[in-house]
Amino acid sequence: MVVGFVFAAAFLSLGIRLVDLATRAPLEAARSSTRGAALAAEGVSDVPDPRRADIVDRQGHLLATNIVTLSVTADPAKVLDARRTAVALAGALDGVDEADLLRRLERGGRFVWVKRHISPREQAAIQDLGLPGVAFTDSEMRAYPNGNLVSHVLGFVDIDNQGLAGLEYGLQRDLVGGEAEGKEPLRLALDLRVQEVVHDQLARAVTDFRALGGCALVLDVHSRELVSLVSLPDFDPNHPERAPADARTNRCTGNVYELGSVFKIVTSAMALESGRVSLYDRFDASEPLKIGRHTIRDDHGKWRVLAVPEIFAFSSNIGTAQMAFAAGGPAVQQPFLESLGLTDKPKLDIPETQAPLVPAKWIDIVSATVSYGHGIAVAPLQFAESVAALVGDGRFARTRFLDAGEGAAPSGPRVVSEETVQAMRLLLWLTVDRGTGTNGHTQGYLVGGKTGTADKPADDRRGYERGAVIASFVGAFPIDQPRYVVMVTLDEPQGNDSTFGWRYGGWTAAPVVADIVAIAGPLLGVEPTRPAIEASFDRQMHTIPVVNGRTHREEEGFEVVRLAR
Amino acid sequence: MTRRHNLALLVLIALSMGGVFQLKYSMVALKSEVARINADLEEERWRMRTLEADWAYLTRPDRLVAQAQALGMTRAGVTRIVDIERIGRRKQLELSRRPMPITLPSGGSAEFRVKPIATFEIAAGGSGR
């Protein structure tokens, strides 16, 4: 009897414990986390981890985050009438296909996604239906509070929160797992305030000039951090599936263009760095240049002998081609472009990159056309990188998308000397002060820049399209000690009344850069240029003799340009 | 004696079983409490994230720009940036140009003028062309 009592007590205690475990454990599991996160935490390998770290701008403004939303699921084994359920759910939920849902419900099994990430209104509608076998589950959703504004930098994720484009894809490893795995928010170099300014100005220009699209970017010359990047048309990363493919194309990194005369920045730096050309040299641009059966002409021709600063400021193709040959031609040009990273596919934190289109053979005519930006196609950001090197510290470094911290300067290989950098600043200033880029002038800041207008290659890559151009302007400010490079490219802009019908980069893209500098400069804490600095640039130009020993101030060509504005 | 001893032992076993079960039960209860608190924390954390996302949505730059424009505000241009030193000197110059009539102890009157430390003229506003 005693033994019986002992066994009875033991079995009773086991029974109580079993009941206890059976009733409590599922409750705890249900409360622990969202469905995907719980599976990921348990190490279920075939379920993608939906947890992701936040992305913030350099000021800490939230750019991307995860929020919890409800999703609707169904258990086909518990669904009483599959057809009625499918009809009711398709009626209550946007975007749910009745036939597809019915097929999945009839296929059997124990789990079917009906719709992910539903709205509170949809949740209420489903609850009102009271369908057996239909349930809700928590799931994490990526949210982009700024909508289109930073779309091409951030990219987007798929329904399982896995990166598909932009930084979401490029830095997937740094993001996935999120806070739960000790991942800090990803701090970008991008400044949301500047991004808004750049977006606003570029959108206005694309509308005003009826362009197919455009790209605008701001690059920190000191740290090579990307402060802003806008590509239009853009898309809402909260609903990337609604955007056409063209809107998802990043025109700053994912498309390459023949950029035209802005390339003269590279050619001039190469010529000056070679030591075979100086600011004091002159080249004959009085008639078209013939190379074999090809003829090179000037769009803004002066048809006379031009000094190097004039060749640059008036954007002479004839003079620039001769400078390239004087520097050493293809033998010097190709390695110089390589040193600036203009011949290789750029290594960026985003996957939307395209390798430049470079000539297969570097013969004389190719060298001549490349000198003024035809016959070579690069992405705007890749070109801006090289400009930052040529007006900054003379060293080449790739663009950083992440905040590198205060005072962090990259130490890339030196491509040009300090003297060449100084000469380039002078040439860029001259172009905005008196050359083809006067519309890039900004009150308060001394801006240097270069215009570019390139014909678009025809679809069959044989020749160029008539009337279709890529208009660009790349500027640096303040040009005495450049802090930022600003580049704007417009795809097929049309002239309007404000440009007297012109669609040149100097008329369409330069004013956009000027407006960006004027508004973003104070936001970035750039002090206005002192009058003494401007006077010193003016004095430097006086020291360069041009045709017949006269200085630029006295030279007729500049006066003609000034009157023509 | 042996029966009494055995009985005592059985009672002791039963008591220890009860004690162990009680201990286990209170531990499970505490574990459950911890799980509940963690779940609450998680819930609050998600609520905070949603609120942060809401805040970011409500303070997005294009919305702020539109609201600022509706209030008649304009962007701060570069011409509004001046050295703090300049502001001080300008104030001195303004004071020096404003004579203050005073009555002397002798009954006579005179003009009191402030002499600026820096006496050179400073251009107003920002620089540039």
- Taking only residues 384 to 443 of chain A, the set having a beta carbon closer than 8 angstroms to any beta carbon of chain B reads 441-443
Return the closest-CA partner of residue A178 out of A66, A70, A71. A66
Q: Pick left, alpha or beta for residue A230 (phi over 0 → left; psi -120 to 50 → alpha; otherwise beta).
A: beta
The partner residue sitting opposite B53, judged by closest CB among A143, A529, A530, is A143
Tens of pLDDT along chain A (565 residues) come to 666 776 677 677 777 766 665 565 444 444 445 656 655 655 555 668 888 999 999 999 999 999 988 899 999 999 989 999 999 999 999 889 999 999 999 988 889 999 988 888 898 999 998 899 999 998 889 999 999 999 999 999 998 889 999 999 999 999 988 777 778 899 999 999 999 999 999 999 999 999 999 999 999 999 999 999 999 999 999 999 999 999 999 999 999 999 999 999 999 999 999 999 988 888 888 889 988 888 898 887 788 888 899 899 999 999 999 999 999 999 999 999 999 999 999 999 999 999 999 998 888 899 999 999 999 999 999 999 999 999 999 999 999 999 988 777 777 899 999 999 999 999 999 999 988 999 999 988 999 999 999 988 887 767 787 778 999 999 999 999 999 999 999 999 998 888 888 888 899 999 999 999 999 999 998 988 888 888 888 777 766 555 444 444 445 444 333 323 2
> Which of chain A's residues have a Cβ under 8 Å away from the Cβ of B2?
none
CB A314 within 8 A of CB A306: yes
Give the pLDDT score at B102: 87
The partner residue sitting opposite A62, judged by closest CB among B6, B25, B53, is B53
Give the pLDDT score at B129: 30
Percent of chain B with pLDDT over 70: 86
CB contact under 8 A, A522 and B38: no
Return the closest-CA partner of residue A74 out of A93, A101, A97. A101
Give the pLDDT score at B113: 81
Give the pLDDT score at A21: 59
Say if A65 is an interface residue toward chain B (CB within 8 Å).
yes
CB contact under 8 A, B128 and A529: yes
Give the pLDDT score at A9: 73
pLDDT tens digits for A320-344? Answer: 999 999 999 999 999 999 999 999 9
**Residue A405, burial from CB neighbour count under 10 angstroms (0-12, 13-18, 19+):** exposed
Give the pLDDT score at A282: 87
The partner residue sitting opposite A31, judged by closest CB among B7, B35, B127, is B35
The answer to whether the bond into A237 is cis (omega within 30° of 0) is no
Give the pLDDT score at B119: 47
Cα-based torsion angle of the residue sequence A287, A373, A490, A145 in order, rounded to the nearest 10 degrees: -160
Give the pLDDT score at A316: 93
| CB within 8 Å of A547: residues ≥ 6 apart | A282, A304, A305, A306, A307, A555
**Residue B28, burial from CB neighbour count under 10 angstroms (0-12, 13-18, 19+):** middle
CA–CA gap between residue A519 and residue A429 (Å, rounded): 20
Domains and CATH numbers, chain A: 35-41+48-71+141-188 (3.90.1310.10), 194-564 (3.40.710.10)
> Which of chain A's residues have a Cβ under 8 Å away from the Cβ of B6?
2
CA–CA gap between residue A545 and residue A246 (Å, rounded): 50
Report, as residue numbers or ranges, the catalytic residues of A: 261
Strands B109-112 and B100-103: antiparallel
CA–CA gap between residue B63 and residue B57 (Å, rounded): 9
- Quick check: ipTM above 0.90? no
Say if A538 is an interface residue toward chain B (CB within 8 Å).
no
Say if A565 is an interface residue toward chain B (CB within 8 Å).
no
pLDDT tens digits for B5-47? Answer: 888 998 999 999 999 989 999 999 999 999 999 989 988 988 8
What pTM was estimated for this model as a whole? 0.81
Residue A5's CB is within 10 A of a number of other CB atoms, namely: 11
Structure tokens at A380: 């705007």
C-alpha distances in Å from residue A540, one per residue of A76, A152, A476, A556: 82, 42, 19, 18
Domain regions of chain B by residue span:
2-68, 82-122
Residue A96's CB is within 10 A of a number of other CB atoms, namely: 17
CA–CA gap between residue A62 and residue A146 (Å, rounded): 8
CA–CA gap between residue A352 and residue A381 (Å, rounded): 12
Give the pLDDT score at A538: 77
Return the closest-CA partner of residue A422 out of A537, A503, A511. A537
**Residue A530, burial from CB neighbour count under 10 angstroms (0-12, 13-18, 19+):** middle
Give the pLDDT score at A31: 41
Query: How close, in Å, is residue B92 to chain A by CA atoms?
Result: 22
CB contact under 8 A, A31 and B39: yes
Cβ pairs bridging A and B (under 8 Å): 113
CA–CA gap between residue A436 and residue A134 (Å, rounded): 68
Return the closest-CA partner of residue A265 out of A75, A561, A476, A502. A476
Give the pLDDT score at A459: 75
Say if A478 is an interface residue toward chain B (CB within 8 Å).
no
Give the pLDDT score at A547: 45
Q: Bridge partners of A226? A: A219
**Backbone CA torsion sign across A11, A12, A15, A17:** negative
CB contact under 8 A, A527 and B81: yes
Q: Cα A326 vs. chain centroid, distance in angstroms?
A: 36
Give the pLDDT score at A409: 72
The C-alpha R_g of chain A, in whole angstroms, comes to 31
CA–CA gap between residue A213 and residue A201 (Å, rounded): 13
